[in-house]
Structure 1
Amino acid sequence: MSGVPGFDRLDRLDRERAVALVQQAYADGRLGPAELDQRLELALTATSSQELEPVVSDLPHDDHGDEVLQIASIGGRVTRTGDWLVPRRLRVESEYGRVLLDLSRAHIPFGQIDIELRLTYGHARVVLPAGASANTDAVHAGWHGVVCRAPSRPRPGTLHVQVSGELTYGRLTIRTTRR
C-alpha cells in the first residue's frame, strides 16, 4: 500500500507506542479488561495514524518516557538492585565488566520497559519480578548466547521487558525472581 497517494502508512513504532500506552493505562487501573481488549484490538488492526489516534487520545502519556538513561563502564561492574527507579528506556554499555539488573524489588512505573545492552566481553543478568515477561528476539549474541527463563509474550497487567543489543563475546541470562 505504500506509494498510494494520500495513504498514511502506520509506523511500527507508533503502533508499539500505542499498545504500550494502553497496557500502561490498564496496569495503572485506568482501563478495565474489556476496554483493554477493545483498545488493543483497535491498535493492532489500525492501518493509519488516524485510526490509531482515538485509541490513545484520552490516555495520559509522558513524553519524558522516551528519554534513554545510559550507563557505561569499561572494566567495572554495573549493578542495580533493591529499590531503584527503573526508566522507560535503559542503555547499558560495558567493555569487560558484568551487568546485574535486578528488577524484582525496583520501582517500575511503566507497563513495558526497553533495555539495550552493548557488551563486548561481559556477561549480563536480568532478574524480573514474578509474573513479568521478556522478549530477547532483538539481541544479537556472538560467542555465547541468550538464556531467557521468563515468558516471552506480554500479559495484560504485568511488566514486559523488551531487550535488544549486541553481545560480542558475552552472555545474557534473564530469569524471574525466586521469591
Structure 2
Amino acid sequence: MRVSDEDRERTARRLQHAFAEGRLNQLELEDRLELALSAKTYGDLLGLISDLPQEQPPVSDVVELEAKNGHLKRSGDWAVPRRLRVTSKHGSVDLDLSEAVIDHQVVEIELNLTYGSARITLPEGGVANVDGFRSDWGHATSSVPSRPRPGAVHVVISGRSKYGGVTVRYPRKRWFTH
C-alpha cells in the first residue's frame, strides 16, 4: 500500500530519534532518511526501521476511574496523573494524595458523582480550588487554602454531584501515646 507524506515524516522522526539515542551513526541516518523521504510503500518504510526498538506509546496525562456501586479509593504510594476523571454513581470516592507521588505542580480532578460524596486529602502545604464543583443537594467544603503557592501542589477540582458533595482537607494529625 502506498504511503502518505505524514507516514514518511513519522518514519524520519523515528530515525532521527534513533540517531539521538546512538542507535544509528551519521552515515546510516543520512542513507535511511533519503530512502524514507522517497519511499512509495509501507514495505519500503518498514525495512528502514525494522531493526530499531518499537516506539513506546505516550503516557496518558488523563486517568479515568469509574465505579457504579461501592467505594472508590486511592491511598498510599500511588502516582497521581496530571488530570483525573472520577465517575461514581452510587458510592463514595476517597482520594488520599498525602503520600502519593505527584510530579505535576497542578493536578486537575473532575468529579462526576450521582449519589455519593468525595473526600480528597492533600499533602501538607497543598492547596485546592473547589470553585468549579457544583452540587444540586450537597456541598463543597475545603479546609485548605485555595490560592496557588510557590512549590506547593495545586489541586483544581471541578465537576458535579446530584446528591453529594466534596470535602478537601489535610491528613488528620496522629497522636501517639506511650
Q: TM-score range by the shorter chain?
A: 0.5 to 0.7
* Number of the residue aligned with 1:9: none
Structure with bigger gyration radius: 2
* Number of the residue aligned with 2:96: 102
Which of structure 1's runs of 4+ aligned residues deviate more than 2 A? 64-67
Instruction: Determine if contact 1:65/1:89 at 8 Å carries over to the other structure.
Output: no
Instruction: Determine if contact 1:129/1:176 at 8 Å carries over to the other structure.
Output: yes
* Number of the residue aligned with 1:162: 156
Please give the alpha-carbon distance, in whole angstroms, between the structure 1 residues aligned to 2:131 and 2:89: 22
What is the Cα deviation at residue 68 of structure 1?
A: 1.5
- Alignment pair present for 1:120 and 2:114: yes
State which of 124, 127, 130 in structure 1 corresponds to 2:124.
Answer: 130
- Alignment pair present for 1:69 and 2:59: no
State which of 121, 139, 143 in structure 2 corresponds to 1:145.
Answer: 139
What is the Cα deviation at residue 178 of structure 1?
A: 2.6
| Cα gap change, 1:170 to 1:65, in 2 (>3 Å) | farther
Question: Which secondary structure does the structure 1 equivalent of 2:102 belong to?
Answer: coil
Please give the alpha-carbon distance, in whole angstroms, between the structure 2 residues aligned to 1:103 and 1:170: 21
Q: Deviations over 1:85-121 (max 9, x none)?
A: 0000000000001100000000001111000000000
Percent identity for Structure 1 against Structure 2: 47
Please give the alpha-carbon distance, in whole angstroms, between the structure 2 residues aligned to 1:101 and 1:71: 11
What amino acid does structure 1 have at the position aligned with 2:63? Answer: L
Q: Which runs of 5+ in 1 are unaligned?
A: 1-63
TM-score under structure 2 length normalisation = 0.63
Aligned pairs, how many? Answer: 116
